[in-house]
Amino acid sequence: MDTTENTIVPELDEKQEVQDKPAKTTIMSTIDQWPAKNILIGKPTARQRDSIMVPIPSTYANRTGMLMHRDAYKAFLDMHSAAESEGIALRIISAYRSFDHQTRIWENKWNGRQILHGNINALDISDPGERALEILRFSAMPGTSRHHWGTDIDLNSLNNDYFASGRGKQEYMWLRENAHKFGFCQPYTSNEQRGFTGYEEEKWHWSYKPVASVYLQAFKEQVDYSDIAGFDGWETAQQLNVITRYVLSINGECIIGDR
Question: Which residues would be at the binding site for Zn ion (CB under 5 A)?
Answer: 154, 205
Cβ of residue 39: shortest distance to Zn ion, in angstroms?
A: 18
CB of 97 or CB of 131, closer to Zn ion: 97
CB of 96 or CB of 234, closer to Zn ion: 96
Cβ of residue 165: shortest distance to Zn ion, in angstroms?
A: 21
Cβ of residue 94: shortest distance to Zn ion, in angstroms?
A: 6
Write the burial class of residue 124 (CB in 10 Å: 0-12 exposed, 13-18 middle, 19+ buried): exposed
CB of 125 or CB of 198, closer to Zn ion: 198
Q: Which residue is nearest to Zn ion (CB)?
A: 205
Cβ of residue 55: shortest distance to Zn ion, in angstroms?
A: 19
Cβ of residue 97: shortest distance to Zn ion, in angstroms?
A: 9
Report the candidate in 179, 174, 14 with the shortest Cα–Cα distance to residue 88.
174
CB of 34 or CB of 208, closer to Zn ion: 208
CB of 16 or CB of 108, closer to Zn ion: 108
Cβ of residue 205: shortest distance to Zn ion, in angstroms?
A: 4
CA–CA separation, 232 and 51 (whole Å): 31
CB of 12 or CB of 171, closer to Zn ion: 171
Would you say the C-alpha torsion 177, 179, 185, 189 has a positive or negative sign? negative
